[in-house]
Chain A
Amino acid sequence: MHRRFIGFLALKQKFIILLLLVFAIVLPFTIKNQYIFRLAILSLQWIFLTQSLNLLAGVLGQISLGHIAFYGIGAYTCTILAKNYDFPTWAAWLAAIAVSALFGFALALPTLRLSGYYLTIVTLGFGEIIRLIEINWVSLTRGPLGILNIPKPEFFGYQIKSNIQFYFLMLIILVLSTVLLCRLVNSRTGRAIVATREDSIAAEAMGINIFKYKTMVFVIAAAMAGLCGAFFAQYTNYIDPTSFKSDQSTLLIIMALLGGMGSQIGPFIGAIVLTILPEMIRELMEYRMLLYGVVLLLIMQVRPDGLMGGVNLRYVRQKLLFEKERSKKTAEKGAEAEL
């Protein structure tokens, strides 16, 4: 069942993407309820965040337990610059991306010596350090009080205020990131990154500077999360350190795992399901973490790699088309022989 479904997805890719895009564009015009709107925007945002973690954890294979820290760094950078220093939105966003990327670079440096689980522990520590800074550097972040009344984004005179505007802003970011990530993964650079994940010693022996590619992925993933943080801050109007706690990092990992590490569709499935599911059973909000645990256990039982784990639609498509062509050729040959 699953295989045939994947085959269908792979062959009808363009059509399905078009359909989903039309759905995503029409959707906001049908939403009347503020709360549902917020959920839709949050879903888009979590997809984007999961994409960034998936690049690091799925494509490069380096699990990070502190990824939400970059989201926090982006949110605080943007907020402080836009609110206290009147930075125009584009500059505040660029700064948020740059500062997160810089921290991503710093976190990548230990990869020179560490890898795998050891580095995962470092990412955990990194996440906690950033959170402690957010809480304790009161003169900059106002600590647990948080920062209120964050200015709305404005791009060259066009202000983003309404839900629908925020929705489309995030949708545009997401479409762009999806296109760019697909291009990245299917490029010379992407092959080098996947090869590094699959076998770093063989990758080096094939001439790949694995340190360079690991660093590159850390920087890109951090920059993406930072951008998402900037969006989040200006969208919600208020940030405090509770939005960037380690259980958010855990949630992010569960989203990536549920969707399937390393797959480009995985983040969509994982993030949407785990943003909406808990909301549908709001009464059980206190048991949210428990719910995540149950979902994770179920997945590990049924499909240990996640729903789309290990699925590369490009590969599936190439193989199916190649086999089709070959069977056509042999059929033609058979027909010739009969004549």
Chain B
Amino acid sequence: MVDLSINFAGIKAPNPFWLASAPPTNSGYQIMKAFEAGWGGAVWKTLGIPVVNVSSRYGSVNYRDTRMMGFNNIELITDRPLADNLREIEEVKKYFPNHAVIASLMVETRKEWIQIIKDVENAGVDGIELNFGCPHGMCERGMGSAVGQEPEVLKTIVEWAKDAAKVPVITKLTPNISHITDPGLAAYQGGTDAISLINTIKSIVGIDLDTYAPYPIVDGKGTNGGYCGPAVKPIAMNMLKDLAQHPEISKIPLSGIGGIETWRDVVEFILLGATSIQVCTAVMHYGFGIVREMDAGLRAFMDTKGYHTIYDFAGLALPNVTEWKHLDLKYKVIAAINPDKCIGCDLCYIACDDGAHQAIARSIDLKNRIPSIIEENCVGCNLCSLVCPVENCITMLRKDDGTAHVTWAERTNADDIPTSFNDNRAGGIGHFVPKPTDALKS
């Protein structure tokens, strides 16, 4: 029997599906509705000294017919008075004592931190999340990512919070930084109980071609916003991996955020070491109801694999994420086209010919357009299999027999790597390249 309940750094929840601190957690009404729909926890919209927001707040990147593939916002933290939020937190906890309610906080001075932590604890929160992430507006005021980008400052504030808090403290990181492990380690050293990531990424999602203003446009002007949604998932996962593989930071639980929408996303984040996940954009797009797809999918996955709790598979992908230099240079795959499935679009041909290694030939049979792989030219880059519009039409087949194995690191140790510009150990030597003038023939 699958048991989805979690204990995240001491914060208990019936399942790992949490709402990220954002508009969906703006009010008690929304959070109660979400819990009814099946969410296990919610990080309240960041509390602090209430702000004033602009009108026209969101922009998006639509990829073809897919709306909000990437999403950006120029909203700040809550614009509602603290007292209203506290009252509603209390009410939510009364109705849902076993769900996780976490207060996201962002203030400036130590005095303010101590005060607001006391306030939310009195209201009954199960944990607090320090928002060091917001990349617009708040940072201009010395908060949010302005803190998240300064590990020393971040560490100090984590220490303040830990000092003041009785409930577990989660530190939420900004991705607007070169090495996520820098603020990650600072938070760890400051004594944080857990880390959540990522907050939004600084972005401009588009420019209006008549007014020349960036979206979202506020009376003819715009500003950089915070990017999130499906587009940021790969960035979030990479950062999550960095923390989960870190010898020290990995000792504390990690909450994964960034582009999560389906059960697959959830499983991927857990495999990379997250033990709770948070969602914002997908809920802003489809409402709380999407949790039913995540829930059913996660359960089915765990059932099939025979896992009882998410801890049974948390982090299982981590050993397989290694450094480039440890990858096997003898491993060799080659593309294969299934002629029964091919629809003759020749996208693979042109992708390979113009964008890769000239390893696909067009059909010489006038009756069809099924291309063929020139095996000796194929470097096994995967490109054709990625562009092919037909499910399972191009597959990459393993060609080496698995007996030989050598990595860049080993070759380096053995002094067997190219060292000069025209070194004959270059990987491309002997590989077919057409004559430049072949390009000119019709």
Query: Do A and B assemble together?
Result: no
Interface residues of B (CB under 8 A from A): none
